[in-house]
Chains A and B, each alone.
Chain A
């Protein structure tokens, strides 16, 4: 996010303001009060006696609450110390803001306090792309409330502002006049409520906010959330701080989509992705499984409900496909964007089956696996029936919505992320390698589910045969013999897109790597072209498109590295997994425990600190989940039957750690470990069974 902005959030609602607490949004500026992909306040400016205020300090009290200490701006370096203002703002379904004016004089004083309120009701897509509005605006002054409204046909959105103290209302805001005693104070509480109004005047949001309604118990909810998670104890304070930050941010990023009732699943991240994403929700739920399995349960249920059931080119929907993204703004409502929901991704569908299997292995929740058997089978069917666009036995992608669909339907979704060594960009369809790994893993795990829960051993056998054939085919077609690694993708002609990339790490996680090739793959992952000292780069140094601050062509992504480390563990490379974990966790210390989406791929010895990618989302769900997955990986936590296996391989710097009360089918269990792995330099082949 941009420097000098203050953001607080709760689920799907967030407020971004300047350090004074004011909002003065332009058409393309991401400040304001946002809820369900719509801006509900674009102007919110406080003046006292006609003067703007300046900030003395800004305290982030909680992720949902901030306090601003302000004084009237004099235009000079001198501060008029006779008056100061405290603004305390908390997000709930909208926000509440307490404004307190303090008189520091020994005489009484009369003050005029004014808050200006205005709204453009922009769709987040419009803020991104600076589009024109098609509806009309009205402002209503009503019984002490100020109501800002936007209407387009039957689409109606409103923002209501109310106050606890009497005010004079006008179309641009509200004004208070108060006489304050010597050394006295005056306070009012303002309440801002956004509403999505549906047919018949019904409010659409799950927890409809009202002007007079009680404050949602966010603080109590956060305490419950933290109390349910395992407790981390140990020698290293920074690791404990990162762990706590991750749990709190994950709580902040939970949100209840309109159809999930009170259940919540992880949203993707601020500022653009505060919505339901197939890929992000699944990967974050996987990372968080040992710490909070409920996220996975909700993700499986909600994404299962929304699974595609027909062919729709506008939404890139197929039967069995798991959604990519759901949006709730005006452009989705009028189908000027396909996000109601949009299905254009090639990985969430196999990942859905992987999450279901992993969820059952941890929790023993066989009911969910039986209830959603149809969905899991439809997802497995999608892999062969709809995703094999080239008829060569591989998942590939090419959008059918040429206008507003997504070109790149894998996690590296920027235009230049998939390239040959020489920098050329392949045409479509594209079959990226990690998709084949996910397909393999989905079939293997689907086979276990079919055998143990669906009573269909014949289907299980078939899936295992298909998986074995896929693995053999993949190892023949994707292996770049002169490089000793797997190609990033196959192009439309079935030829190798031969750049060296972090995607090969996901292949380890999936188990599709032939055993005798694992050493070579790990050698590349930990070698100087991919490993920066902080983590594994998205694209290897030396490739034509390599750029240490290119979004998917050289930066280091914490989430990517967390799955790579899991893959290293899967193939027995415990020390390498510890090394990758240690690098990213070291980087987390530079961001106060909150890992950004991505940081620069510069050599660690060159920069000494990790350089944050300029417009990276933060907090972002799968970066928030990365430290959790690293903890699982380093402790070697693995459900085996009804038991939890613990097999730690921790970097020396971590010292002793204890993860207590890990939830699962065993009830609660503790894991202990001590840092014994020297990660200061790459060791020779340290593979252990």
Chain B
């Protein structure tokens, strides 16, 4: 699998520390579906220190959706809340982490596609 979402997690695994998540210690798993295949990205956050692996392990919050949905959220074209309400993003576990992990996403700088 390639594309913005996978690239984002590759970058994230090199970022190591995110000051905006310093009060967070938790695990968040992303289940990214594409043409019948699902890839996993597990982010372990320890006071803002981030490690990303491709493990399919239990997490405090699990988000699942199509690759296109993750591409849109990470690219700043869609908020996770709208995706959740629209029924294209599934969230299990602590929903607060859904909100906080959005701080990792770069966004577009202007309005998204609508």
Measured between beta carbons, the chain B residues less than 8 angstroms from A340 are: 79, 81-82, 85
A196 to B85, CA, bound (A): 8
Q: Is A591 interfacial (CB-CB < 8 Å)?
A: no
Q: Is B36 interfacial (CB-CB < 8 Å)?
A: no
Q: Is A309 interfacial (CB-CB < 8 Å)?
A: yes
User: A301-349: which have CB < 8 Å to B?
Assistant: 305-306, 309-315, 326, 328, 332-336, 340-341
Tell me whether chain B's interface is mostly helix, strand or loop, or mixed.
mixed
Listed by A's residue number, 22 A-B pairs whose Cβ atoms lie within 8 Å are: A154-B88, A155-B86, A197-B87, A198-B91, A202-B90, A204-B85, A258-B95, A261-B94, A261-B95, A306-B99, A310-B107, A310-B108, A310-B109, A314-B114, A332-B82, A332-B85, A333-B86, A341-B81, A374-B19, A374-B20, A374-B23, A400-B111
Measured between beta carbons, the chain B residues less than 8 angstroms from A305 are: 96, 99-100
Known interface pairs A326-B81, A374-B19. Does A154 touch B107 (Cβ–Cβ under 8 Å)?
Answer: no
Which residue of chain B is the closest to A153 with respect to CB atoms?
Answer: B86
User: A137-154: which have CB < 8 Å to B?
Assistant: 153-154
Which residue of chain A is the closest to B106 with respect to CB atoms?
Answer: A310
* A312-B76 in contact (CB<8A): yes
Q: A155-B87, A198-B85, A312-B112 are in contact. List 8 more A-B contacts (CB 8 A).
A: A198-B89, A204-B85, A258-B84, A305-B100, A309-B107, A312-B111, A332-B82, A333-B82
A156 to B88, CA, bound (A): 11
Q: How far is the CB of B88 from chain A (nearest CB, A)?
A: 5
Measured between beta carbons, the chain A residues less than 8 angstroms from B78 are: 335
Q: How far is the CB of B40 from chain A (nearest CB, A)?
A: 16
Which residue of chain A is the closest to B92 with respect to CB atoms?
Answer: A202
Q: Is A77 interfacial (CB-CB < 8 Å)?
A: no
Number of interface residues of A (CB under 8 A): 38
Measured between beta carbons, the chain A residues less than 8 angstroms from B15 are: none
Measured between beta carbons, the chain A residues less than 8 angstroms from B64 are: 199-200
Number of interface residues of B (CB under 8 A): 37
A305 to B26, CA, bound (A): 15
* A371-B23 in contact (CB<8A): yes
* A372-B85 in contact (CB<8A): no
Q: How far is the CB of A481 from chain B (nearest CB, A)?
A: 43
Measured between beta carbons, the chain A residues less than 8 angstroms from B112 are: 312, 314, 335
A312 to B95, CA, bound (A): 22
Known interface pairs A310-B76, A310-B107. Does A334 touch B98 (Cβ–Cβ under 8 Å)?
Answer: no
Q: Is B34 interfacial (CB-CB < 8 Å)?
A: no
Known interface pairs A196-B85, A314-B112, A335-B82. Does A309 touch B90 (Cβ–Cβ under 8 Å)?
Answer: no
User: B30-74: which have CB < 8 Å to A?
Assistant: 64-65
Q: How far is the CB of B94 from chain A (nearest CB, A)?
A: 8
Q: Is A401 interfacial (CB-CB < 8 Å)?
A: yes
Q: How far is the CB of A297 from chain B (nearest CB, A)?
A: 14
Q: Is A131 interfacial (CB-CB < 8 Å)?
A: no
Query: Which residue in B79, B82, B84, B114 is a CB contact (below 8 Å) of A204?
Result: B84
A334 to B106, CA, bound (A): 21
Q: How far is the CB of A630 from chain B (nearest CB, A)?
A: 35
Known interface pairs A313-B110, A326-B81. Does A334 touch B86 (Cβ–Cβ under 8 Å)?
Answer: yes
Q: Is B13 interfacial (CB-CB < 8 Å)?
A: no
Measured between beta carbons, the chain B residues less than 8 angstroms from A199 are: 64-65, 84, 87-90
* A312-B110 in contact (CB<8A): yes
Known interface pairs A261-B96, A314-B114. Does A154 touch B86 (Cβ–Cβ under 8 Å)?
Answer: yes
Measured between beta carbons, the chain B residues less than 8 angstroms from A258 are: 81, 84, 95
Q: Which of B23, B78, B106 has the most CB of A within 10 A?
A: B23
Measured between beta carbons, the chain A residues less than 8 angstroms from B23 are: 371-372, 374
Measured between beta carbons, the chain B residues less than 8 angstroms from A261 are: 94-96
A305 to B88, CA, bound (A): 22
* B76-A154 in contact (CB<8A): no
Q: How far is the CB of A71 from chain B (nearest CB, A)?
A: 43
A306 to B65, CA, bound (A): 22
Measured between beta carbons, the chain A residues less than 8 angstroms from B89 are: 198-199
* B111-A401 in contact (CB<8A): yes
Query: Which residue in B20, B87, B98 is a CB contact (below 8 Å) of A154?
Result: B87
Q: Is B22 interfacial (CB-CB < 8 Å)?
A: yes
Known interface pairs A155-B86, A259-B99, A340-B81. Does A309 touch B20 (Cβ–Cβ under 8 Å)?
Answer: yes
